[in-house]
Every structure is written in C-alpha cells, then in structure tokens.
Amino acid sequence: MTKLLLYALVLGVSLLAGPQSLEGQQRQITGTVTSAEGTPVAGAAVSIVGQNRTTQTDQQGQFTVSAPAAEVRLRVNRLGYAMREVVVPLAQATVNVRLEADALSLDAIVVTGQATSVARRNLAHAVASVSARDVERTPSQTVDKALQGKVPGALISTNSGAPGGGVQVDLRGVSSINGTADPLWVIDGVIVSNVSIPSGQNAVTAATGLLNTTSVGVVGGSVQDNTVNRVADLNPSDIESIEILKGASAAAIYGSKASNGVIIITTKRGREGAPQIRFSQKLGVYQLSNTLGARNFTRDEAVGAFGEEVAAYFGPNGQPLQTFDHEKLLAGREDLSGETALSISGGTGGTRYFLSGLLQRDAGIIENTGFDKQSVRLNLEQRLGSAVEVRLNNNLLHTRAQRGLTNNDNAGVSYYMVLPFTPNFVDLRRGADGLFPDNPFERSNPLQTAALGKNEEDVWRFISAGDVKVDLLQNDRQSLRFSLVGGADYFAQNNNLFYPSNLQFERDDGQPGTVVRGTSNNLNLNGNANLVHTFSPAGGAFTATSSVGVQYEDRDLNIKNVIGRNLIAGEEGIDAATTVNLFDVRQRVRDLGVYAQEELLLLDNRLLLTAGIRADRTSANGDDAKFYLYPKTSISYRLPELASFVDELKLRLAYGETGNQPLFGQKFTQLLANLNIGGVPGLVSGGVLGAPDIRPERQREIEGGFDLALFNGRANLEFTAYDQRISDLILQRTIAPSTGFGSEFFNGAGMNTRGVEVAVGATPIQLDRLTWTSRTTFYKTESEITELPVPTFRVGSFGAASLGVFQIEKGKSPTQIVGYNGRDANGIAIEEALGDATPDFTMGFTNELTFGPLTLYSLLDWRKGGDVVNLTRFLHDAGQLSPDYLLPSGVTAPRRVPECHPRCSGMERVLGFNTYTQQYIEDGSFVKLRELSLAYRLPEAALRRIPGRVRDARISLSGRNLHTWTDYTGLDPEVSNFGNQQIGRSVDVAPFPPSRSFWLSIDLGF
C-alpha cells in the first residue's frame, strides 16, 4: 500500500512538472549495429546498463541514445543474435557494434507480465519462444500448424486433414474434464477468440443421433462437425514472435483464463528509414498422402458376401470386369495452390509503419474443398515528443473454408462412412450424360455428394489493438511508465450447407433437399491499464520493477442456425423449404481483473526474484461479484563459468496458480420454449440443474529446472519438471428424480498432472561458410484423477465400451480407454483398461545446415505411444472390405482375438466385436517429416542483374508432412472425431484424409 501511495504521489508530481530528465548532464551516443556478415541489424534494442532508456536501430542499423556524461556500458539486444555489451568512454561519441548470430535464442527478451519482460537468461520459469523465421520456413495454412514439433511441453494435433485448420493445442497435459481445453490467445496485447463454432452438418449426418439439430448449443464442447478454430484466420507472415506460457507461474498474470496456458503473438513493426519492400510468391500442390486400401474380390467371394446379384460385376474367369480406387477418385485432386504476400515497412520523424497484404488459395484434395485467405494489416507507431508513444495495429481478414462431408454420421452420407460398405468393383463415377449412378450398396454416392454438395464457411474478421505508453518519470535511476492497451476482435461467420434433392440420399429420406444457414457473430472487447516503476540505485546494485494494473474483457457470441428441408424445385433458399427448424444461442461473459507484480534483479544481474498476484471476477461464476486470487512467485540464480566448457548454469524454481472459468450458463437452469398449449407458448426447464455457487477450476503448479549454456554459447540445455494439483473440477452428478431434474453441475473433482520437458540446442559446426544448428525437444506428461465425488463415469467415444470408451475413475488416468476383454462364466462382458490416449513421450528434431548461400532445414516430429480408437477400421471390417479381411494363408477357421491379436484378419476382428475391443484400440505412435526445405540466397552479383533495385532474393523448395512412419492402420493417428477437447480425443471415425504439400517459393526484398 505504501508503494501504491508513492506511485500516486509521483504520478501527480510528474503530471504537473512534465517528464523528468537530466538533460544538462547528458551526452548523445550514435552508432551502427551490424551482423557478423556486415549487414545492418534493424530493430535491435540499445540501452545503457543500469539505466532505463532504450532505443531501437533503424533499417540501416543506426541509433542515437542519451547517456550520462561519464563512461557507460552499452547493451545491444536483438532476437536471433547474442547480446553484446561494449564500454563507451566519455570522450567517445560514436560506436559500431557487431552482433554474432544466436541460433539458440539465449538472449531473447521474454514476457513476464502484462507490461514487463526480462532476458531469457534470467527467466525463472520455462517459456517457449518461436520466431518469425521458424513460422515461415515452410508454408502453413494456419499459425497453430506451424508450431507442431517445435515447442517442448506442447502436444499439437490436427483434428483432420480438411483444409482450413482444426487443430488442438494442449500445453502440459490434461487440466480439465468438462472445461475448455484451448490456451488463451493474445495478439499485440489483445485477447482474441479461438472458438470453434459447429458448421451445422449434423443436420445432414445425424452424428448426434438427431437430424433436426445443428449442435449450435455446444460451443467448445464435444461436437462432430469437423470444426475450424478461429486462429486459422491469422496470417502467419505477419508474426514477429510467439511466446508460449506453459506453466501456472508464467500464466498466472492472466488469472482465471490461463490454466490451459497462454500463447502471446507479437506482430511485425516498422523500422525507421527508407521504405523496405518484401514480396513473396509461393506455388504449391496438395497431394493425398495415405489411403486405407480395399479388398479385392473374386466372384465367389463377392457372391458369398453380397448375394447372387453381384455376379454381373464379374467375368467368366471369376475376376471383376473392372475395379476402381474409390479413395483416389474421391481425394486424388492435385490442383495448383498459391500464396502471394507483400509488405512495406519504414518510418521517419518518429513515425513507423508496417503494411502487409496476403492472398492465399489452398486447393483441397476433394472436389469442392479448399481454403482461401485474404489479409490486410496496418501497424502504425508514433512518438509524441520524448515521453509518449502511440501504437495502432489493425488487421482485416477474410477466410473461406470448404470442408466437404466427413467424420461420424448415422445417415450413411459421410464419404468415409460410405466407402467401407462399397466394394471396389462398383463404378461410382459421373457418366457421359453428366449424371452420377446410384450406389447399390449404400444410400449415397460419395463422388456425387462431393461434386454437388456444399459445405462452406465464410468469415470476415477485424482485429484492432491500440497501445499508449507515457513516460511519467525518466532519469538515470528510475522510471515510471503508464500504458493503456485496448482492442477489439470481431468476426462474422456464415455457414452455408446445401445438399440438393437430386442427391441419392436426399431422394429417399421423404424430404428431398436440405439447406442450412448459419450466422455467427463474436465480439471480444478488452483493455488494460498498467503502471510500471523501475528503480536502480547508484552503482546498479539491483533493479526493482514494480507493476500494477487492471484488465477488463467482454465476450459476446451470438449463433443463429436455420435448417430447411424438402426444397421446392431444387431451390437453395430457406424460403423454398416446406419444413424449417430454427436455433439461436447467445453467450456473453464479462471479466474484471486487477494485478500487482514485483521483480528484483540482484547480485550483478544473477539473481531474479518475482512475486505477483491477480484477482479475478467474471459473470460466468455463480457469484459474479466475488474476486478469486491467483498468486505467483519464482526465483532464478545464474552461476557463470563453472567449468571450461560451462558458460553458465541457471537454477530456477517457480510456483503459480491459475483458473479455468465455468462454461457459459453452467450456473443457470436452462428454460426451453418447446411447448404450445392452445396457441400459447410454454416454458419447461432443461434436464440439468444449474449451480448458483459454480466457480473456476483451480490449478496449482510448482515447476523447477535448470538451464545450461555450454561451449562459449555453442550449446544449451533446458530441463523442467512440473507438478500440477488441479481442484474444483466441474462435473455433473445425478440427482433425485423428485427434483424434476436428471443431473446438476458442481465443483468437486481433483487431478494431478506431472511432466518433464527437455530442450537441447547446439551448433556443432560454425565456420565461415558452413554452419550446422540442431535442436531437440523432449516432453512427457501423465495425469491421475485424485478426487472423484461421483461414481465412475464415461465421456466421448459414444459411451460404448464395445467400441472403446474414455472412463473417469479415481486413481486412474483421465485419458484411459476402457473396452471389452472377453466374457465371464455368466456371459457378461469383462471391462478393462486397454489403452491410454496420452503419448508416452513426444520429441522434435530440428536441423539447419547452411553452406554459403544454401540452407537445408528439416523438422522431424516423433510421438511415442498414445492409443487411438480406430472405428474407421471397424467400419471396413463390418463392410467386409478391409484389405486383410480374409483369413491368412494356412488358417482354416477364425481364431479368438486374444490368440491372433495384433495381427488378426478383418474377419476375426469383426467376429470378436462385442466380446473384445483391443483389436480396434491401436498404438498411435508415429514419426512425421513435418517440414523440409532447401533455400538458395542469390549472391550480390546476381542481384545486380535483376531490375528494380533488389536488395536480397531467395528461392526455396519445401514440403510439409511429406512422410509418416507408423504402424497405425488408419488414415492418420492424429485425428479426432470430437474436435477440440482434452478428454475423448483420439477417436478415428471417417475423417477427412491427410495430405502432403510441395512448394516453390520466391522471396524478394527491395
């Protein structure tokens, strides 16, 4: 309280007296910062050690900084380069600083609070950083896909192969059972939405068991619509850096929204100097990377499986007249994809600007699928005198995703739900008359559905962030800065699904023709005010950084869906439907948080002590006026030069608490207006009773570790172990029927999650023309249910143990998969834990080899363990179309599953169904070649021959997801039928098939 009063007094004096300085005792130091190759380094931070003044180099690497009239030590820092300190005597007014490459990012500046940061070498908790270069090495449709395999402590999986996103990011394992699973995304200080809104395809597929619904009420929950998460809208080319706050100590400053971690994105900024133009053109192709295959029949086999009527498909020799590869006919398109990007950066007179534009077209491998993106960004910065800096970042985005019809369905219409029951001797292709034949084995022709059906999602989005910084006090020993950050994130999502009446499955359902119109609007408004005071006494014995602030957020989501059936004359409009169903959902949440944090850097910058606390309240809580506290504290100490090969050892320990807010509406009892009595509408209560005392789930985490810098900066090792104690998990429990309800929400369960993260970086070779940089990451996590005040229950996987179900049980992993393992003497199925969806560990291997102008880069992603419920395989077995359906040679009668597992034939697997489940629970281990690129940078002699004053040029060949090594028999072990959720993932049901991509890129700088 005393320090807050001091801040108020200083603020009042500062506003009356204006910004303070010691101009009479100052001198100006000018200089240039260059790389080891002699090229200017723009955007480097230049400061005086022991003082609180920082400036940045312009595009020519030049800077000017005020310094005391004495000998000073100049510190220069830039991401990607090693920090450099040089002594500047009193008599010297100019200085040239040369920076060496820091491929291991040991000197990166990392966020520690809402308005504070610290050098990575002092950081007291584990934070992963990803640079713009790492994001842009190979073209990626979405930002989250570009992070795969690069972040220790993160399990990043694609939910399907559909174009346009659909990615699950799990940071440090399972942290909730029924709550949100997604990290908090922050762009330039503004919290943005990453909500996944169902498209409405359930109205066609009936995946939930009901046709007259679109699942619009389940946002962020378990849906089967193959949804897009809205981070897919962002332009990866605009990103300067990404910081991933994985642990509670790092994320506690975001309070009740941060138990799943925080991902902070900083976009590119302008640099003072003449305009710098960058142009990039990429051309590529997507290609089907895996197929399931199909069984080849003889006439006798086909007649035995399907009846005498199929004999007409076979010739006198007993072989089929012709066979067709239905998978490649469906998903074998290889249309040209492309991406064009242009940016202009510059500034003068205190004004800096960054303007960028993007045109992206990713063609899907299935007809009428693809992903288009357009983006325009304008980032402006303006200094107003010496004390005020204003920034404004605006981004207009437009995306259009066409995702086809995949995933689970109960209507026989999803592509990969039909193919397992359609033998390869049936011709499904369009005829010479332009018409598709009916599928005689199923109620739909997937080639016809793909060609004539429509599943489009069109999104317009605007993200705006404003930032005002005012230096209220500035001198050699202390500074006081006020910052105000605010912004808005608005998007309008329109879903348009149309399945005309001439489709085979529409003709026979009694209401031919289906149209779904979905309109969703989301507005996030948030702002925070921060006051940061930094004090360093004479001699620089320590530096104290104190910060306080307040943050407000308003989230307003509105979803409307309309389903029309029985379309007149094949019309597409809702007004042409004779049967119409309407759905409307609105969710609005308001949050308020206040925080305070203190950082002390002591003992010649070796010891860092941090303590902070945040108080949060939200309208999602039962008591929306109550504040919940989230403390944090951490310590790190650096020990330099312990041995000839040890540059430095840093020990660190951190503790923090975060929360996971209740889902919208869990405190209320839902009322349904579904009665009509004599023309008067009536209300009835829903089956779930709200909880008036609902509160956030709470995570308490302690993490410890060490960092080693070795061989004069040529190698580093980071080790972190963490232990999370998670309480107040939100559940549903059954209550007495006499209450009028079936169940109620409440807080009560507990969970423990532990893990280890390791990152090793090295530059084994560093010569004038040859450099090899390598990085390896390792991550292992496991969880256990420690408190469960309700009986064991199941989530996901359709709730059937015969198929494999996720079971929540005290003392067990929350991601355990339970199924049948035989029957007892009474014929009752024996249920046992047969697998676990959490991988044993994950590893990433990144290597970059530079030889003169050539650069070769690769990224391997290894996931060991992690079981998958492969129901796509079950469908093929049930349809008798698995390539290995027949008994193997020498086997005359089907064997019991335990006797032949894991190499049972399809016949044996399906005969064992409903008695055994392990044949459909598979090891999801894989190694993926995520990224591979070869780049050539043109020498200066070649640049001079190119008209247009080209400053630099690079040509590259690259690929993404080029190959997967796995024993998994499905299309892709990463897929999730249920989208973004922590428990109940790893269920493979008729997904969109995966693809690999190849790219030719040309990048020019002017």
User: What pLDDT, in 10s, does the model give residues 814-851?
Assistant: 999 999 999 999 999 999 999 999 999 999 999 999 99
CB 415 within 8 A of CB 471: no
Task: Give the per-residue pLDDT at 3.
Answer: 43
Integer Cα distance of 617 and 257 in angstroms: 11
Q: Is 922 left (phi over 0), alpha (psi -120 to 50) or beta?
A: beta
3-state secondary structure 552-592: EEEEEEEEEEEEEEEEHHHCCCHHHEEEEEEEEEEEEEEEE
The amino acid occupying position 831 is E
Burial code (b: 16+ CB inside 10 Å, e: under 16) for 84-102 equals: beeebeeeeeebebbbebb
Share of the chain above pLDDT 70, in %: 94
Query: Band of the pLDDT at 25, cuts 50, 70, 90?
Result: low
Would you report the helix, strand and coil content of the chain in percent, each value rounded to 5? 15, 50, 35
Q: Is residue 943 over pLDDT 60?
A: yes
Q: Residues 953-976: what's their mean pLDDT? A: 94
What the block records as the tokens of 781 is 């996590």
Instruction: Count CB atoms within 10 A of the CB of residue 879.
Output: 23
Q: Residues 368-385: what's their mean pLDDT? A: 94
- Find all residues with CB under 8 Å of 643, minimum gap 6, and list them: none
**942 φ, ψ (degrees, to nearest 5):** -70, -35
The amino acid occupying position 112 is T
pLDDT single digits (tens) 28-71: 888 888 887 677 887 788 877 766 567 778 777 888 887 777 78
Query: Band of the pLDDT at 788, cuts 50, 70, 90?
Result: very high
Integer Cα distance of 986 and 867 in angstroms: 7
Distance of CA 891 to the CA centre of its chain: 47
Q: Residues 231-242: what's their mean pLDDT? A: 92
Task: Give the per-residue pLDDT at 151.
Answer: 92
Share of the chain above pLDDT 90, in %: 63
Task: Give the per-residue pLDDT at 592.
Answer: 96
Task: Give the per-residue pLDDT at 538.
Answer: 75
Task: Give the per-residue pLDDT at 482.
Answer: 94
Q: Residues 179-186: what's their mean pLDDT? A: 90
Q: Is residue 273 over pLDDT 50?
A: yes
Using CA atoms, how far residue 384 sits from 252, 350, 671, in Å, is 34, 8, 54
Closest by CA to 364, choosing from 331, 339, 398, 413, is 331
Most confident of 40-54, 115-129, 487-501, 635-649: 487-501
Task: Give the per-residue pLDDT at 55.
Answer: 78
Q: Residues 158-168: what's their mean pLDDT? A: 87
What's the pTM? 0.89
Query: Band of the pLDDT at 766, cuts 50, 70, 90?
Result: confident
pLDDT single digits (tens) 585-622: 889 999 999 999 999 999 988 999 999 999 999 999 99
pLDDT single digits (tens) 463-497: 999 999 999 988 878 889 999 999 999 999 999 99
Task: Give the per-residue pLDDT at 981.
Answer: 81
> Of 123-127, 211-215, 494-498, 634-638, which gets the smallest average pLDDT?
211-215
Query: Band of the pLDDT at 791, cuts 50, 70, 90?
Result: very high
Q: Residues 862-880: what's their mean pLDDT? A: 96
Task: Give the per-residue pLDDT at 185.
Answer: 94
Instruction: Count CB atoms within 10 A of the CB of residue 179.
Output: 22
Q: Is residue 877 over pLDDT 50?
A: yes
The SS3 of residue 133 is helix
Task: Give the per-residue pLDDT at 214.
Answer: 55
**Strand 688-689 and strand 743-766: pairing?**
parallel
Q: Is residue 113 over pLDDT 90?
A: no
Integer Cα distance of 899 and 590 in angstroms: 58
pLDDT single digits (tens) 239-253: 998 999 998 888 999
Task: Give the per-residue pLDDT at 107.
Answer: 62
Task: Give the per-residue pLDDT at 220.
Answer: 40
**137 φ, ψ (degrees, to nearest 5):** -60, -45
The mean pLDDT of the chain is: 89
More confident residue, 739 or 602: 602
Task: Give the per-residue pLDDT at 790.
Answer: 94
Task: Give the per-residue pLDDT at 70.
Answer: 78
Integer Cα distance of 30 and 58 in angstroms: 12
Q: Is residue 575 over pLDDT 90?
A: no
